């Protein structure tokens, strides 16, 4: 195993760029992936975010391409979200800074004009989201016959987001003779299927068992009855915020993210907190992310759209305000902390309807997350009627998912009045017994 980056026989330009980035020794994924990639092998890497996997494929690509050549791209890196594409672009630029390689990233959310102009000037490495790549390719601005390396990063997320048709089209338009690299945080059947279509006799590398959160992250869970109590608990946890230097709060929906953001805004003011979700414009999202990255704000509230591809090295705490429904997202969310061997803390708030997903998460990560009691100082609110109904409906749905014959406790909980009303209606319709009658008999009430 390579103990230093020198052992990989990288050239001086790359070694200087690595030194500038502050890395001294390769991470486990880099130790396993760099030699076969340098060797030209197809590689399939199961590695979660925060393990250094981007450098594991970017460094060998830079080593292979060495310098600017021709007008058309020789390496293509596909990522699921614009946030991740921007992060990969930053990484490539940092590691290629002592070379003259030309890098462009293409993603939606802003007009393609500037992206096309940069491509037309000549490019060596393209980082792209699948949809925008196909748009620019179909408009005739990308030539693929020169491609030597194709990378699919966070392939599991691409599948979750429904990018499979675009991926298959991209595979149809790139040269057959090329090196393929596929990275995913989890190893699902779908990923197996994709790797069979995409990779030639790959070297499979797995860093940490499938979907295991970073060892440096301390995990906790609080069982919290409802939304208001979650806010009260959040207030209490932030009261003594000495050890919270940088916090990400994840919410399931945009509405929840906005509610949490508004609460924090009242407490900390605009200078300390930002919110990130799909309803925000592209520029707002980039500005929020940069403000958080550059320590201008301390707290970032986000939905799962933003949970991948935010490479912020010193997040001290992650709070899952809601338990994620896509259970793999839990690994990605808490992977924001404990990065690059630093320690971090991941706290999850779980209401009764979310316990189902929490159990699934514990199976996935093969760990039991320690349960903590809500502190006495936290006021536990009564669950409002509507929220309780929603939770009951959700629990019914989960039970039905596990057992299709389950009729639903929710229906049994109909009040006596509702039941009586329902029976009276039915009696009216059916004439009590037998098929519905056309006219109502005059002695209807006496027929008992």
How many angstroms separate the CA atoms of 291 and 287, rounded?
A: 6
Whether 197 contacts 171, CB under 8 Å: yes
The DSSP symbol for 63 reads H
* Res 254: pLDDT: 85
User: Which of 98-112, 231-245, 402-416 has the highest average model confidence (pLDDT)?
Assistant: 98-112
Percent pLDDT > 70 in the chain is 84
> How many residues are there in the chain?
448
* Res 447: pLDDT: 47
- Closest by Cα among 184, 166, 183, 211 to 331: 211
How many angstroms separate the CA atoms of 260 and 427, rounded?
A: 49
The DSSP symbol for 214 reads P
Percent pLDDT > 90 in the chain is 41
- Closest by Cα among 28, 348, 332, 319 to 160: 332
Using H for helix, E for strand and C for coil, what is the string for 344-393? EEEEEEECHHHHHHHHHHHHHHCCCCCEECCCCCCCCCCCCHHHHHHHHH
Q: Determine phi and psi for 336, rounding to 5 degrees.
A: -70, -25
Give the helix/strand (H/E) hosting 220: strand 217-223
Grouping H, G, I as helix, E, B as strand and the rest as coil, residue 205 is strand
For the cut 80, the answer to whether the pLDDT of residue 2 exceeds it is no
* Res 25: pLDDT: 83
For the cut 70, the answer to whether the pLDDT of residue 109 exceeds it is yes
Lowest mean pLDDT among 51-55, 129-133, 188-192, 362-366: 188-192
Handedness of CA 169, 172, 174, 180 (dihedral sign): positive
* Res 310: pLDDT: 60
Give the mean model confidence (pLDDT) for residues 402-426.
65
Give the mean model confidence (pLDDT) for residues 216-225.
90
Strand partners, 128: 78, 106
* Res 213: pLDDT: 58
Provide the greatest CA pair distance for the chain: 101
At 160-208, the pLDDT tens digits run 788 888 888 998 899 888 999 999 877 777 788 888 878 888 888 887 5
For the cut 80, the answer to whether the pLDDT of residue 369 exceeds it is yes
Identify the band that residue 448 occupies on the pLDDT scale cut at 50, 70 and 90.
very low
Handedness of CA 305, 313, 3, 7 (dihedral sign): positive
Query: Within a 10 A sphere around the Cβ of 214, how many other Cβ atoms?
Result: 23
For the cut 80, the answer to whether the pLDDT of residue 396 exceeds it is yes
Q: CA angle, corner 19, sides to 18 and 21, nearest 5? A: 65
Buried-exposed string 333-361: b where 16+ CB fall within 10 A, e elsewhere: bbbbbbbeeeebbbbbbbbbbbebbbeeb
* Res 93: pLDDT: 93
* Res 419: pLDDT: 66
* Res 224: pLDDT: 96
């Amino acid at each position: 195993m390579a103990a230093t980056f020198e052992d990989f026989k990288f050239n001086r330009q790359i070694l200087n760029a690595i030194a500038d980035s502050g890395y001294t020794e390769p991470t486990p994924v880099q130790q396993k992936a760099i030699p076969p990639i340098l060797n030209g092998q197809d590689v399939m890497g199961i590695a979660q975010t925060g393990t250094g996997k981007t450098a594991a494929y970017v460094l060998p690509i830079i080593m292979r391409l060495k310098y600017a050549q021709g007008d058309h791209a020789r390496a293509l890196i596909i990522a699921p979200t614009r946030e991740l594409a921007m992060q990969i672009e930053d990484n490539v630029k940092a590691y290629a800074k002592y070379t003259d390689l030309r890098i462009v990233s293409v993603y939606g959310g802003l007009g393609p004009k500037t992206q096309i102009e940069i491509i037309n000037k000549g490019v060596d490495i393209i980082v792209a989201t699948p949809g925008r790549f196909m748009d620019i390719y179909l408009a005739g601005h990308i030539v693929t016959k020169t491609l030597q390396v194709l990378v699919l990063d966070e392939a599991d997320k691409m599948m979750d987001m429904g990018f499979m048709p675009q991926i298959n089209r991209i595979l149809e338009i790139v040269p057959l003779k090329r090196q393929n690299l596929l990275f995913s945080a989890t190893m699902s059947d779908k990923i197996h299927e994709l790797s069979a279509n995409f990779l030639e006799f790959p070297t499979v590398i797995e860093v940490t068992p499938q979907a295991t959160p970073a060892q440096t992250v301390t995990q906790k869970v609080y069982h919290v009855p409802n939304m208001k109590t979650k806010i009260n608990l959040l207030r209490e946890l932030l009261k003594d915020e000495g050890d919270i230097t940088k916090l990400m709060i994840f919410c399931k929906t945009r509405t929840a993210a906005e509610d949490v953001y508004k609460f924090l805004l009242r407490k900390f003011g605009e200078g300390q907190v930002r919110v990130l979700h799909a309803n925000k414009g592209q520029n707002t999202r980039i500005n929020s992310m940069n403000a958080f990255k550059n320590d201008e704000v301390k707290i970032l509230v986000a939905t799962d759209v933003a949970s991948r591809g935010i490479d912020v090295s010193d997040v001290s705490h992650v709070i899952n305000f809601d338990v994620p429904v896509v259970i793999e997202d839990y690994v990605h969310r808490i992977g924001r902390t404990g990065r690059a061997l630093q320690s971090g803390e991941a706290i999850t708030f779980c209401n009764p309807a979310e316990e189902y997903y929490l159990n699934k998460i514990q199976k996935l990560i093969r760990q039991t997350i320690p349960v903590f009691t809500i502190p006495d100082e936290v006021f536990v609110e009564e669950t409002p009627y509507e929220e309780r109904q929603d939770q009951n409906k959700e629990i019914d749905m989960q039970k039905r998912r596990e057992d299709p014959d389950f009729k639903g406790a929710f229906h049994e909980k109909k009040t006596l009045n509702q039941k009586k009303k329902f029976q009276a209606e039915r009696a009216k319709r059916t004439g009590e017994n037998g098929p519905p009658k056309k006219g109502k008999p005059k002695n209807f009430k006496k027929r008992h």
